[in-house]
Structure 1
Amino acid sequence: MNLPAGFGVRLSSRTKVCDGGRSLVGGSRGSVLYLSDVAADLLDGGAVLLATSGDGTTLARSLLDRGFADPWWPNPAGPDSQVLDVTVVVPVRDRAQDLTLLLEALPSSVPVVVVDDGSRDPGQVARVARAYGASLVVHDVNRGPAAARNSGLRHVTTPFVAFCDSDIVPDPGWLATLRRHLDDPALAMVAPRVLGPERRPGDSWVERYEQARSSLDLGPEPAAVRQQGVVAYLPSACLVARVAVLARLGSGPFDEALRCGEDVDLVWRLLTAGASVRYEPAATVRHRHRARLGEWLGRKAFYGTSAAPLAQRHGSAVAPLVISPWSAVFAAALLAQRRWSVPVALASAAVATAGTSRRLGRSERPVRAAAILTLEGSVAVLWQTGAALTRHYWPLAALAATRSRRARRALAVAAVVDGLVDRRRVGADLDPVRYVLARRLDDLAYGSGVWLGAARARSFDALRPDVRLSRRR
């Protein structure tokens, strides 16, 4: 589908320009894109391209679809009050005070449908909805957030819908920023960055950890959503979508059999159907996280239980490890901690670089481009391996640690280094000791949920690594 005139794109921060502007390396899938003379002249060494001509529109579309560029506009999005073609759907169960804060933050010009999903005191929810002029749909019994969103969607008459959980408060400009992404006719859904509440004196260490490292926060960089990509899913805390595309998924786009992971399932079904999905961190909403330790750990474990039903529906998309033969040798050699470990790891990277360079014959510097891809792959392998040891596979890693000094060393290094690097990456306002402790508790709880879900499903597909024998192009 063509982009509208004036729609702009900017090369992603993950994209590297090589060969004097004749090739792009990186994107959302770690690939190489060769540019024709016309395409190279259109970019002309710059990072921004406007869809103002036939060739410019075609190139902008290609860069977007392949993850080499993100949408860009020369002017601000404007106020949320000017958005008149979006309806907000809010699923809620009790939480009348939270609902009040959300509705207070929404523009009065935006229609709202509140779905009371079996509240114990429905009168309070009804009074809040009435006070803010929202339509009210009532479920006599609790049917879950997926069913509540589906019920609300049936009452939407605008071409676009925003699903907002009752425990978020959007920041000004969120709706206008997200809505203009949908001027791209190929885009089905876009979501903002989900942050925690503003920091306050007296916040607990759990709250300070969540403010920096929430499971719902997908980071500061925009991205096209891809299975096993840089951004692989979107949380349903806040989503803006094209109603017509959701309607093509059936009577209800959210799978009502899922009490958790229904948002991931919806995003992946959209991607499978050929639709585009984006993450836009320039728009932000604030989410009130659970602050009590027991509730916080329970929520993390609950998230983990979604892996098994998602694996049944989407196979290897949930794999905790995505590896190729060379990366498996690379990781295994380093984990072995022998004298030959480093030489073998370097040799596997060299073999990967050589093999990739042969596939990049059109590049002026194929070895350089291949080395960039291999280096990025090596870092990803180390990060994935450490995360897998401390998150999905921690029961196996802990068992190995009781029998092997090298396993204990590998687990300890992974646990500490992962925590310290992650703390620096997210800029947490929490001392290193408590941050690493919180990070490990987070992973232990989530991993426990994954194993519990696998046991319930009597299937361990959610724990199986995805081994790829062919390299991406």
Structure 2
Amino acid sequence: MSIPHGFVIALDRHTRVVDGGRALLGGFPTRLLRLAPRARPLLSDRTLRVTDRASAVLADRLLEFGIANPVIEALPPCPDPRYTVVIPVRDRARQLDRLLAAIGTEHQVIVVDDASHRPEEVAAVAAKHGARLVALLTNLGPAGARNAGLGQVTTPYVVFADSDVVLTPDTIRTLLKHFADPRVAMVVPRIVGLPTDAPANWIGRYEEVRSSLDLGRNPAAVRPGTPVSWASTACVVARVDALKDGFDETMRVGEDVDLCWRLIENGWRVRYEPAVEAAHEHRLRLDDWFLRKAVYGTGAGPLARRHPDFIAPAVFAPWSAVLMVALLAQRRWSVPIAGAVLGVTAVRIARKLDGTEHPYRLALRLTSNGAASALSQTSALLTRHWWPLTALGCTLSGRVRRAAAVAALTDVALEYRTDKTALDPVRYGVARRLDDLAYGGGVWLSAVKERSTKALRPCIVRPRRRVSSGRSRP
């Protein structure tokens, strides 16, 4: 099956049109895609509409490489929009009532009571809204509860929604448009904070801009090693026949990431669509919030065992790894070595871009972007994934103290400017560091439990995987 006529895609905001429209530079990892002569006119103002086999082949390739994204407003409606909503819940009758009221009664709804302490309250809410109730006698966790509901679904699509989420039928109808692409298995909206009448405390204001479930403002293909490397199933629309056995019921955390990565491994696409949103009731108590962040971290160990190629906390090219080692060494030779690495890398990339206009200008831009990414990932390693080692190193070495201080302060300064939060810089910085402490602590606990450091080890990729060249011949 191919992408149907009428499907519209637009180049990703990071994709550059080079050589007067003869090539595209973008994607993850970055690649130069040279367009065949008959493929060039198919792109108009960075947009492509599928009208024939040639445009369908080109659109499929651009989506696969992460060079372009579907234009949700221009996509045709889903030809078979039948779906069933599955809601796993344990207690939380008030939140369930709010969600069911927002969903409406046009489509089937299955409420899976995961052995609530007060099952009668959940049953009453489900009956009030005409939802089908599946009551579990034993608590199975989110994965098992979702699977219990999935087993009752007879429609082509299923919507998984956590009880503390609020969404509307319009949200689901919009996400369903993505399934015009026959390779799309799952689509997730942007998860934002649920507005409340009471003013948010400082943790709430931090969560409004730095929630672990919020994947950002830009559409993307979900793929390990990219800016959107996983997707939460707090709210998700999925193709039932792609899910097979569903979630791994042995996982109490990280089961959504595992499902997402298994789908990708099996050749399916997973899309992130921020044009529509689902509101999530964030945790506002400091102890509850901190514990939840740590729990998220504990999923790293089981995920590392199941997906060892996807779990790396940082991904470096050999040259960027050398660059970071040189800078962290803080020796007299550090700056000259770093400069030499950047220079040699720019020349090597320029040679791979040979035949394009201004190859050295493009190479300098790519090298700068790669260096910035390496610095950002190193900062995250020092302050988040490796913070126990960083703390130990700070007691022994002034260089480690300087590196940690620069990493922590620079991270807060850059992220605070980007997030544009109403929270003051001091409390934002405290919340940012507590976030890292909790998550990183969870990762270390899972590593100890699994007796493996896989989730803590960066990945070094070979150069040919970082900047590659291809030709599109639709």
TM tier relative to shorter chain: over 0.9
The DSSP-based 3-state class of the residue aligned with 1:221 is: coil
State the match for 2:471 in structure 1: none
Q: How does 1:309-320 map to 2 (within 5 A)?
A: 309-320=302-313
How far apart, in 1, do the equivalents of 2:401 and 2:430 lie?
A: 17
The DSSP-based 3-state class of the residue aligned with 2:24 is: strand
Alpha-carbon contact 1:91-1:164 (below 8 Å) kept: yes
Aligned residue among 283, 290, 295 for 1:290: 283
How far apart, in 2, do the equivalents of 1:59 and 1:388 lie?
A: 38
How far apart, in 2, do the equivalents of 1:424 and 1:171 lie?
A: 32
The DSSP-based 3-state class of the residue aligned with 2:464 is: coil
Aligned residue among 146, 149, 158 for 1:149: 146
1:41 pairs with 2:41 = yes
Alpha-carbon contact 2:6-2:75 (below 8 Å) kept: no
Q: How does 1:336-375 map to 2 (within 5 A)?
A: 336-375=329-368
Alpha-carbon contact 1:87-1:111 (below 8 Å) kept: yes
Alpha-carbon contact 1:171-1:283 (below 8 Å) kept: no
1:102 pairs with 2:95 = no
How far apart, in 1, do the equivalents of 2:179 and 2:263 lie?
A: 15
| Structure 2 residue identity aligned to 1:330 | L
How far apart, in 1, do the equivalents of 2:67 and 2:242 lie?
A: 25
The DSSP-based 3-state class of the residue aligned with 2:54 is: helix
How far apart, in 2, do the equivalents of 1:27 and 1:129 lie?
A: 45
How far apart, in 1, do the equivalents of 2:209 and 2:433 lie?
A: 15
What TM-score does the superposition give when structure 2 sets the normalisation length?
A: 0.95
How far apart, in 2, do the equivalents of 1:172 and 1:350 lie?
A: 53
Alpha-carbon contact 1:83-1:179 (below 8 Å) kept: no
Alpha-carbon contact 2:146-2:247 (below 8 Å) kept: yes
The DSSP-based 3-state class of the residue aligned with 1:99 is: helix
Following TM superposition, by how much is the alpha carbon of 1:373 offset from its aligned partner in structure 2, in angstroms?
2.2
The DSSP-based 3-state class of the residue aligned with 1:38 is: coil
How far apart, in 2, do the equivalents of 1:311 and 1:47 lie?
A: 38
Following TM superposition, by how much is the alpha carbon of 1:255 offset from its aligned partner in structure 2, in angstroms?
0.3
Relative contact order: is structure 1 or structure 2 higher (C-alpha 8 Å, sep ≥ 6)?
2
How far apart, in 2, do the equivalents of 1:269 and 1:306 lie?
A: 15
Deviations 1:321-368 (A, max 9, x none): 211221011112222223332232121122112222222234233323
How far apart, in 2, do the equivalents of 1:64 and 1:77 lie?
A: 17
Alpha-carbon contact 2:72-2:178 (below 8 Å) kept: no
State the match for 1:229 in structure 2: 226
Following TM superposition, by how much is the alpha carbon of 1:39 offset from its aligned partner in structure 2, in angstroms?
1.5
State the match for 1:256 in structure 2: 249
Q: Which moved more, 1:82-91 or 1:370-379?
A: 82-91
Q: How does 1:170-185 map to 2 (within 5 A)?
A: 170=167, 173-185=170-182
| Structure 2 residue identity aligned to 1:219 | G
Q: Which moved more, 1:156-165 or 1:425-434?
A: 425-434
State the match for 1:130 in structure 2: 127
Deviations 1:39-96 (A, max 9, x none): 222214x111100122222211111111111101555888x9x984111100000000
Identical counterparts, % of pairs = 50
1:382 pairs with 2:375 = yes
| Structure 2 residue identity aligned to 1:239 | V
Mind listing any 5+ residue stretches in structure 2 that lack a counterpart? 469-474
Following TM superposition, by how much is the alpha carbon of 1:28 offset from its aligned partner in structure 2, in angstroms?
3.1
Deviations 1:200-226 (A, max 9, x none): 553110011001100000000000111
How far apart, in 1, do the equivalents of 2:405 and 2:154 lie?
A: 55
1:139 pairs with 2:132 = no
Alpha-carbon contact 1:261-1:306 (below 8 Å) kept: yes
Alpha-carbon contact 1:28-1:224 (below 8 Å) kept: no
How far apart, in 1, do the equivalents of 2:122 and 2:332 lie?
A: 66
Q: How does 1:189-208 map to 2 (within 5 A)?
A: 189-198=186-195, 202-208=199-205
Following TM superposition, by how much is the alpha carbon of 1:440 offset from its aligned partner in structure 2, in angstroms?
0.3
Aligned residue among 448, 453, 461 for 1:455: 448
The DSSP-based 3-state class of the residue aligned with 1:318 is: coil
| Structure 1 residue identity aligned to 2:59 | A
How far apart, in 2, do the equivalents of 1:57 and 1:77 lie?
A: 15
How far apart, in 1, do the equivalents of 2:111 and 2:72 lie?
A: 33
Following TM superposition, by how much is the alpha carbon of 1:409 offset from its aligned partner in structure 2, in angstroms?
1.2
How far apart, in 1, do the equivalents of 2:170 and 2:419 lie?
A: 24
How far apart, in 1, do the equivalents of 2:317 and 2:11 lie?
A: 28
Deviations 1:266-302 (A, max 9, x none): 0100000011111000110111111111111111110
Aligned residue among 405, 416, 419 for 1:423: 416
Aligned residues: 466
State the match for 1:308 in structure 2: 301
Alpha-carbon contact 2:6-2:76 (below 8 Å) kept: no
Mind listing any 5+ residue stretches in structure 1 that lack a counterpart? none
Deviations 1:126-150 (A, max 9, x none): 1111111111111101011000111
TM superposition outliers: structure 1 runs of 4+ over 4 Å: 73-78
The DSSP-based 3-state class of the residue aligned with 1:9 is: strand
How far apart, in 2, do the equivalents of 1:145 and 1:442 lie?
A: 23
Deviations 1:296-321 (A, max 9, x none): 11111100000001000000311112
Alpha-carbon contact 1:77-1:177 (below 8 Å) kept: no
Following TM superposition, by how much is the alpha carbon of 1:431 offset from its aligned partner in structure 2, in angstroms?
0.5
1:239 pairs with 2:232 = no
